[in-house]
Amino acid sequence: MDIKAYIDSGILELFVAGQLSENENKDVQDMMLKHPEVLQEVLDIESAIVKLSSTMSPSDNTHLLLQRIKEKLQFGASDVKVIPINKPRYNWLTYTGWAAALIVGAGLLWTLNQNQQLESQVSEMDTENLYLEQQIEQAKTDLVIKENLLKVLRDRNIISVPLDGQGNFTDSYAKVYWNKADNSIYLDAQGLPEAPEGKVWQIWSLTLNPLSPTSLGTIDNFNDDANKIFNIANANESQAFGITLEPTGGSKTPTMEQLHTLGVVSQP
Amino acid sequence: MQLETLISQFQKKDEKAFEQLYNMYSDSIHGVIYNIVRDHKIAEEVMQDVFIKAWHKADTYNTSKGRFFTWILNIARNAAIDKTRSKSYKNSNKNLNAEFFVDILESTDNLNDKIDAIGIQKYVKALGEKCKKIIEYLYFKGYTQKETSEELDIPLGTIKTRNRNCIKDLRAMILE
């Protein structure tokens, strides 16, 4: 290869300018290694450019600049080169940040917990409220029933018939309040014991001459009723009322041995 | 070869090698950067960026990238040009289109006394106008041959030899 022609082609100037591809760069490198005159040429070109551009430097403080660059690169701290990079990552701001995050997190958890407690309290209160409302409702209903009873008992048309204990059952008693106007009686059976298993109380309307009983029905819910006052229809011309204990379902005629109470309607 | 040893030490993060290379090229690189940004403070900022980048990217240099000087020249040109495209720089309203490195040499207050700048200035003035511009574009602005040929209205095929002749003239002026 003609080295002089190679040099004269101008490729070395472009090489220094950085205008060549990587492959072309490698070729020039090879030539430089093989031919000292090519190397010298490259050095001269580079030197001319370095000198020319140096005259364009507007100041001579590039040494001061070097100090700043060395500081930024943390020169002189070669034994602990890794630490300066890591150090700033864990400054006081980082710790404060984490601490703040932890506090906020803990605060959130506490608030969440408080909220849950309050919610369950509210739910308890709701249940209690509902219960109390039901109680009030119950009381109101009871009151209405009792007022109603009182109204009935005070009615001037009411005929009061006391029923006394009979035979072995002298401790028993009952009272019938008979409203002839609406053909119904109110039986106050508080003086009767609870009906035993398999038995029910049966109410009878009686005429005395001749003695003939008419069933007014059985009181199936006797044991469950709280005030033991029962409203029973009665369209008969009753002269007396009696109560017997009968097998469940009632009987057609009263079982006289089980006649607990009996009362005669006093004629006005 | 001493330069190669220096470079390989620099690549092994040898701080002394870095300093030596800096001293060899800092004025030149500073001149190239200043020629592009035309602001003392900004030029210093870019200088720092360039040499810090060179330190961190030292291991990416190899001979397929050309001369070490060319490698760092390339980093400097790119960093300076990037800077001129930044918003803050554009806001400073610098008109760079009409400026050439020759202008710097001709304004005497920019000359530093480390080198024989006044002598060089005298010679560079004697360079042909096209030569000044070819050198400006190819070396100091990083234009491609194609861009340079379009800018100067010179056929692409002749750029290489025109440049060769210009550098020859320059060498004759400043290296002898």
Mean per-residue pLDDT over chain A, rounded = 87
Q: Among candidates B106, B70, B158, B1, which has minimal Cα distance to A45?
A: B70
Same domain, A141 and A107: yes
Q: A185 and A216 in contact (C-beta within 8 Å)?
A: yes
**Tens digit of pLDDT for each residue in B45-87?**
999 999 999 999 999 998 888 999 999 999 999 999 999 888 7
Is it the case that residue A124 has pLDDT exceeding 80?
A: yes
Asked if B114 and A60 come within 8 Å (Cβ–Cβ), the reply is: yes
Query: A238 with A179, same domain?
Result: yes
Claim to verify: residue A150 and residue A186 sit in the same structural domain: no
How far, in whole angstroms, is CA A201 from its chain's centroid?
51
Interface contact flag, B175 A26, Cβ < 8 Å: no
Contact B35 A53 (CB under 8 A): yes
Task: Report in angstroms the alpha-carbon separations of A27 from A7, A170, A255, B66, B146.
Answer: 13, 138, 137, 10, 22
- Tell whether the model's pLDDT for residue B108 goes beyond 80: no
pLDDT band at B24 (very low <50, low <70, confident <90, very high): very high
Sign of the four-CA dihedral B4, B6, B9, B13: negative
Locate B6 and state its tokens.
Answer: 């220096």
Q: Chain A neighbours among B 107-136 (CB < 8 Å)? A: 110-115, 117, 120-121, 124, 135
- Between the alpha carbon of residue A186 and those of residues A163, A259, B50, the distances in Å are 13, 19, 113
DSSP B61-73: --GGG--HHHHHH
pTM score of the predicted model: 0.55
A169 and A145 in one domain? no
Domain that holds residue A144: 91-154
Residue A12 falls within a domain, yes or no?
Answer: yes
Mean pLDDT of A221-237: 86
A236 and A184 in a common domain: yes
- Complete domains list, chain B, with CATH: 2-91 (1.10.1740.10), 101-174 (1.10.10.10)
Among candidate residues A204, A147, A150, the one with its CA nearest the CA of residue A174: A204
Instruction: Using the predicted structure, report yes or no on whether residue A81 has a pLDDT greater than 70.
Output: no
> Average pLDDT for residues A150-162, to the nearest whole number?
84
Q: Are A165 and A257 within one domain?
A: yes
The residue-averaged pLDDT of A219-241 equals 87
Q: Which helix (H) or strand (E) holds A89?
A: none
Examine the fold and report which residue of A58, A80, A100 is the final residue of a domain before the chain moves on: A58
> Which contacts (CB < 8 Å, 24+ apart) does range B57-60 have?
B58/B10, B58/B11, B58/B13, B59/B11
Query: Encoding tokens for residue B127?
Result: 């360079």
Minimal C-alpha gap between B87 and chain A (Å): 24
The closest of B169, B114, B102, B171 to B140, measured between CA atoms, is B102
Whether residue A110 is found in the same domain as residue A193:
no
pLDDT (mean) for A72-86: 62
Q: According to the model, what pLDDT value does residue A268 have?
A: 55
| Count of structural domains within chain A | 3
Is residue A100 situated within a structural domain? yes
Binding-face residues of A in 201-240 toward B, CB within 8 A: none
Q: What is the mean pLDDT of residues A231-257?
A: 90
Task: Kindly indicate the confidence band of residue A83, based on its pLDDT and cuts at 50, 70 and 90.
Answer: very low
Min Cα distance A37 → chain B (Å) is 15
Q: Are residues A165 and A117 in the same domain?
A: no
Measured between CB atoms, does B27 come within 8 Å of chain A? Answer: yes
Query: Which pLDDT score, from 0 to 100, does residue B107 have?
Result: 62
Between A25-29, A78-82, A128-132, A216-220, the lowest mean confidence (pLDDT) is in A78-82
